[in-house]
Amino acid sequence: MPTPPPHRLPRRDLRRRGSAMSRADKAVMAVTLPAGIALFIATEIANFSGHELFSWDPHHFFGQVGGMALIVVAVTRWR
């Protein structure tokens, strides 16, 4: 079997290289996904029950957007 030119890798190497999840990606995903889900759900519950979760966020906007941002960061790290 001839060796491929140096500028091209075989497909199996590309697939293997692209699917491996680094330790940093796993750590970021393991922390941000539960934190984002918890923050979003907590602000939703506080919103419907009439409580303030954060004193600086009476309308729960920043808690919900922050929770969704953490979820998006975690999902983009997922490979």
Residues 46-69: tens digit of each pLDDT: 989 988 888 888 888 899 999 999
pLDDT at residue 56, rounded to an integer? 87
Note the pLDDT tens digit of each residue in 8-37.
655 555 545 545 678 888 888 899 999 999
Domain map (residue ranges) of the chain: 21-77
**75, 15 contact by CB (below 8 A):** no
Q: Write the burial class of residue 44 (CB in 10 Å: 0-12 exposed, 13-18 middle, 19+ buried).
A: middle
The sign of the dihedral angle between the CA atoms of 62, 65, 67, 70 is negative
pLDDT at residue 11, rounded to an integer? 56
Considering the chain, what is the average pLDDT of its residues?
Answer: 81
